[in-house]
């Protein structure tokens, strides 16, 4: 599993991720970030997706060539960080700690 924060506000990065996740191009805006989790199990992807959707955030999930899922959530740094805490408390603790570690490394 790979977890990363992606600066989607660069047009070339937005195009690449837009193609991969079929992102509507009108979502492009300055300072847009993405939280990407690659090679996640279907069950875990569904839990994380539900947390983000319950909080009215835009997210995408796509099955990859290994039979696992790639997940992308769009938002600001603060929103993604807050929702990572919710993944920790309401979702999977291990995944929540890994995501929190990513945000603590980007201070």
Confidence of residue 14 (pLDDT cuts 50, 70, 90): confident
Confidence of residue 36 (pLDDT cuts 50, 70, 90): very high
With vertex at residue 96, the alpha carbon angle to CA 31 and CA 67, rounded to the nearest 5 degrees, is: 90
CA distances from 74 to 7, 37, 58, 60, 90 (A): 10, 12, 6, 9, 19
Query: Which residue would you say has higher pLDDT here, 5 or 106?
Result: 5
How many CB atoms within 10 Å of residue 39? 14
Average of per-residue pLDDT values in the chain: 87
Rounded CA-CA distance 77/74 in Å is 9
- pLDDT, tens only, 57-103: 999 999 999 999 999 999 888 888 888 888 888 867 888 888 888 88
Confidence of residue 107 (pLDDT cuts 50, 70, 90): low
Instruction: Locate the domains of the chain by residue range.
Output: 2-105
């Amino acid at each position: 599993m790979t977890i990363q924060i992606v600066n989607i506000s660069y047009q070339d990065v937005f195009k690449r991720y837009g193609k991969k996740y079929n992102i509507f191009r009108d979502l492009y805006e300055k300072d847009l970030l993405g939280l990407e989790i690659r090679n996640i199990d279907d069950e875990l992807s569904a839990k994380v997706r539900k947390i983000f959707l319950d909080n009215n955030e835009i997210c995408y999930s796509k099955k990859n060539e290994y039979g696992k899922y790639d997940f992308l959530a769009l938002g600001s740094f603060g929103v993604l960080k807050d929702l990572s805490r919710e993944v920790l408390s309401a979702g999977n603790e291990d995944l929540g700690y890994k995501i929190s570690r990513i945000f603590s490394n980007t201070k």
